[in-house]
Amino acid sequence: MNKKDNNDNESEPLIKVTYPRWWRGLPSLLIMMIISNIDVLILNDFIEYHYAKVYQVNSTSSEVRREICLNESSSSSSLFSTTTSKSPIATTTSLSNLVQAATARLNVYIYLSATVPAIITSILLGANCDRIGRKSLIALPFVGKITRYTILSSVIYFNLSEWLIILAVMCDGLCGAASLCILSAFAYVADCTTPKNRTPATIIANISIASSRILPLITLGFYLKSHHFIVAMLIALGLSIFGFIFTLIFQPESNVKARKFNILQQLAQVRLAPVKNILKVYFVKRLESKQRRLLINIGTHLGFIVMLCGHVAVFFLYLYGSPFCFDSFRVGILTVVQISTAVLLTIPFTLTIAKRTDSLFIPMIGCLCYMTQFLILGATKYLWMLYLGVCIGSIFFVTTPIIRSRISKLVEPNEYAVVFILASIFESAGYYAISAFANEIYRLSLSFDSGFVFFILAFVGILPLVFMIYLFIVERRLKRPSIKPTTSINE
């Protein structure tokens, strides 16, 4: 009896592995999202302001620029004349549309130039994520942001060439950008949760990301009405430095094997060999059709990313132009309305539905709501319809994290990071490529319908919808009891 007890004791691990609380990964993520949201608004506004000066539009304040835009949209057939080097002859294209087209064109160059660095970083670091840990991949994007805002602050203060903006975004992409931080944070959540509480944790993390946009959009939108770009950029730079230091000191590591290394030692563990495992994980034979279900869930998730990236890329620029002619403050108000609606819906959803089921009907509804938002944005000329559309679209942000949670349940714990690499490529490199494509569509459609790009995005939503319907059929068949054929005694 004593010998058995001794053997039992020897089989037990001497050190019990403990994981940090899953929400310990949220502070660094929220800081990164605040920084990113500052940049989305300020970069669009600055480029728009820059080209307004190039085309000699009298835009000393956002209110004056809005009045010019509204006047032009109400007299679209008039002849406009400009004598700048960009357009030295008279044209029937309004000055605000010329500014919009130039802004969209520079956005295309910015996003395309950052695509390749982001792809390289996403593949290399993503493939090594389970080897080097989560903390270093959460911290590295802050280095990119520090570089980005240092360059952008110099561009604004010294009135340097617009091509330095492209260099700043390339440096950001080379460090993984915000998407690497997001993916690493969700891998962190997956490490520190069980399948039972992973869905609510994932939804809370998603809504925390969304709610982090409220304060910067309102305050910065109001502040930028007088175009004080340099102070806003310096604030973003300060937050980037603070976020990096905070992550170094207070962010615990969730990967047990990587805890003995500091960040530099973790990054030094990067190898090329794990890159070949990126696609291998998707083709591992799994029980109960898990391989097929995993691929379909990944396809659905990537479809959502395309819709989201396309929306983010052109939404602010679209609102700056006719017929709405918003300034940064009005853009911030509209975005906050959508975020606030999503947060309010998340509270009852997380406490009730999310704890009980991860049914595919839930993200299906969210996808349909997002498609409805796109159709409204593309068709409406009325302000109240604009607000109605974003409120309907907010359901997408509440329901679709279920797909991310379902993916993590279909793989082994040591595959969490690798399985999200494809999503990481889409959310970093794909963001730049999709954004460039969306901006080019927007630029080309300015001559006939500036909202045309939203109809394209609504059409894209059909693909993940079809995937979810097919997945629902597959899972329904799996739940049916298998009936074994009976053989006759006479046979």
Three-class DSSP labels, 266-305: HHCCCCCHHHHHHHHHHHCCCHHHHHHHHHHHHHHHHHHH
Sign of CA dihedral 456, 458, 464, 466: negative
Separation between Cα atoms, residue 450 and residue 42, nearest integer Å? 22
Q: Which two tokens stand for residue 265?
A: 């030692």
SS3 80: strand
Per-residue buried b or exposed e for 319-336, using 16+ beta carbons within 10 Å of the residue's own CB: bbbbebbbbbbbbbebbb
pLDDT at 60 exceeding the cut of 60: no
DSSP H helical ranges for 159-260 = 163-174, 177-191, 195-211, 214-223, 229-250
For residue 89, the model assigns a pLDDT of 44
Q: What's the whole-number mean pLDDT along residues 441-467?
A: 94
Separation between Cα atoms, residue 403 and residue 385, nearest integer Å? 29
Separation between Cα atoms, residue 311 and residue 309, nearest integer Å? 5
Q: Are 431 and 294 in contact (CB under 8 A)?
A: no
Q: Are 49 and 227 in contact (CB under 8 A)?
A: yes
Separation between Cα atoms, residue 76 and residue 446, nearest integer Å? 12
For residue 179, the model assigns a pLDDT of 80
Residue for token pair 């059409």: 459
Return the CATH class of domain 20-476: mainly alpha
For residue 58, the model assigns a pLDDT of 55
Separation between Cα atoms, residue 227 and residue 110, nearest integer Å? 22
**pLDDT top residue among 468 and 103:** 468
List, for residues 340-371, the tens digit of each pLDDT value: 998 889 888 887 887 777 889 999 999 999 99
List, for residues 226-255, the tens digit of each pLDDT value: 667 888 899 999 999 999 999 999 989 988
Q: What's the whole-number mean pLDDT along residues 90-113?
A: 79
**pLDDT top residue among 421 and 392:** 392
For residue 227, the model assigns a pLDDT of 66
- Percent of the chain at pLDDT > 70 equals 81
For residue 75, the model assigns a pLDDT of 56
Q: Which two tokens stand for residue 396?
A: 């997408």
**pLDDT top residue among 301 and 48:** 301
Q: What's the whole-number mean pLDDT along residues 61-88?
A: 56
Separation between Cα atoms, residue 424 and residue 197, nearest integer Å? 23
List, for residues 172-206, the tens digit of each pLDDT value: 989 988 888 887 888 888 888 887 788 788 878 87
Per-residue buried b or exposed e for 94-105, using 16+ beta carbons within 10 Å of the residue's own CB: bbbbbbbbbbbe
Separation between Cα atoms, residue 89 and residue 164, nearest integer Å? 29
Q: How far is CA 474 from the centre of its chain?
A: 29
Residue 228: how many CB atoms within 10 A of its CB? 11
Q: Residue 382's pLDDT band (boundaries 50, 70, 90)? A: very high
- Cβ-based neighbours of 313, under 8 Å, separated by 6 or more: 107, 111, 431, 434, 435, 436, 438, 439
Q: Which two tokens stand for residue 118?
A: 């982001």
Q: Which two tokens stand for residue 389?
A: 């559309």
Helices (runs of H) and strands (runs of E) counted in the chain = 24, 0
For residue 319, the model assigns a pLDDT of 92
Q: Which two tokens stand for residue 470?
A: 């097919």
Separation between Cα atoms, residue 236 and residue 275, nearest integer Å? 33
Enter the pTM of the model. 0.74
